[in-house]
Amino acid sequence: MSLLITFLMIVVVMTAILTINSYLILLERKTAAWIQDRVGPNRVGFDLGLPFLKRLTGGFHFWGLGQPIADGLKFLFKEQVVPQHVDKVLYFLAPCVAVITALLAFAVVPFGPTPTPQNPDAFPFVIAPNIDIGIVFVFAVSSLAVYAIILGGWASNNKYSMIGALRSSAQIISYEIPLGLSILVVAMLTGSLNLERIIARQATEGFLGWNIWFQPLAWLLFFTAALAETNRLPFDLPECEQELVGGFHTEYSAIKFVMFFLGEYTHMITVSFLTAILFFGGWHFPFIAEPTSSYPGATAVKILVLVFKAGFFIFLIMVLRWSLPRFRYDQLMRLAWVVLIPLGLLNVIVAMIVLHWGLSRWWLLPISLVLFVGAGLIGTVVSTPDKRMIGHARQA
């Protein structure tokens, strides 16, 4: 019976993620239009442009909600163009790796309440419940996504694709270090790598027990590194259109391109859920979603709370895409190795000292702010290659 429930959970979650991905693309196009002061997609309704369906719907466009369906059908029936110069085995393998790793990483991420000491018989809203190394599993599987980009760039035999693959390999490997350091601090505070226990610890301690209050610096490091891991602006160096046409997926079209796209958006969903779980209490919210909440519909409310938190971070990622300019590649690497990694190491050392001496965790809040402000002040004083070039230009 448990095997059947797990199978049904996999089908429901995977179907939901793929459907949400389709409408997240519409949301991102609408967000871009809102920021750029234009309308965005609004002409395709559920009639999909077909005359007999137009008569049934009265020609009403439903605010463009049929656009993802039309786009999906278009990519599904689009001609499969395969260039002759590609390595066909690796060429077709790359998008499959992108989707599989992205979906597999979500297997241990709770999307609702799970059994707790207060409610041990609760239904576990997670595909693989009670995995003690859950967060390690997520990062281990997510890190494999770099192989999809490298294989796609190598198999395409295209110089733009190859440059995008090389950029991605260096970028993802570099930003995995601050990402891991930020998670290490959370594991030290909660005493577990199990995502369900991390949520339970924060929920038990209440609103002031959320990790964001003790580790705002770790959240900033995590969120910044996660943007780089998912190739989102301002860290989309592997695929930047202005320089590399499309980067590693230049030679891909139709459903193969969609698989890369779905992998990226699924990673974005996973990162947003992890941000809510690790730092913002997961499904917990004061008064309406407590561990002891047992009113009718309490489980649905907890799921909605977690989904709303994750949705907020998804929207934030989209807004950042249309608000910040892309980093130069040397700036990207310098940010990781000169700023984020030293900050992450200092943060870990400080957390170790506080926990070793049994000090209050609230000491970590001002120390995190001091480290962040200190790093900013050092950055304004220390001469960088950019500042030296500007100085030489002014002298000339």
Given pLDDT bands bounded at 50, 70 and 90, which one contains residue 353?
Answer: very high
Mean confidence (pLDDT) of the chain: 85
Asked if 162 and 154 count as a contact pair (C-beta separation under 8 A), the reply is: yes
Is the pLDDT reported for residue 334 higher than 80?
Answer: yes
Q: What is the share, in percent, of the chain residues with pLDDT greater than 90? A: 28
The pTM of the full predicted model, rounded to 2 decimals, is 0.90
Predicted confidence band of residue 223 (pLDDT cuts 50, 70, 90) = very high
Instruction: Kindly state the tokens that stand for 382.
Output: 């220390």
Angle (nearest 5°) at CA 395 between 393 and 396:
65
> What per-residue confidence (pLDDT) applies to 56?
64
pLDDT, residue 322, reads 86
* pLDDT at res. 250: 85
Asked whether residue 157 carries a pLDDT value surpassing 90, the answer given is no
pLDDT over 60 at 1, yes or no:
no
Please give the pLDDT value at position 7.
84
pLDDT at 396 over 60: no
Q: How far apart are CA 45 and CA 54, in angstroms?
A: 9
* pLDDT tens digits, one per residue of 256-306: 888 888 888 899 999 999 999 999 999 999 989 888 888 888 889 999 999
Looking at residue 218, its pLDDT comes to: 94
Q: Is 53 exposed, middle or buried (0-12, 13-18, 19+ CB in 10 A)?
A: middle
Distance separating alpha carbons of residues 232 and 189, to the nearest angstrom: 29
Q: What is the pLDDT of residues 55-86, one digit of tens each?
A: 666 666 677 888 888 888 888 888 888 888 88
Give, in order, the Cα–Cα distances in Å from 63 to each of 23, 39, 45.
12, 11, 7
pLDDT tens column, 187-199: 999 988 999 999 9
Supply the pLDDT for residue 272: 94
Task: Say if residue 390's pLDDT is above 70.
Answer: no
Q: How confident is the model at residue 392 (pLDDT cuts 50, 70, 90)?
A: low
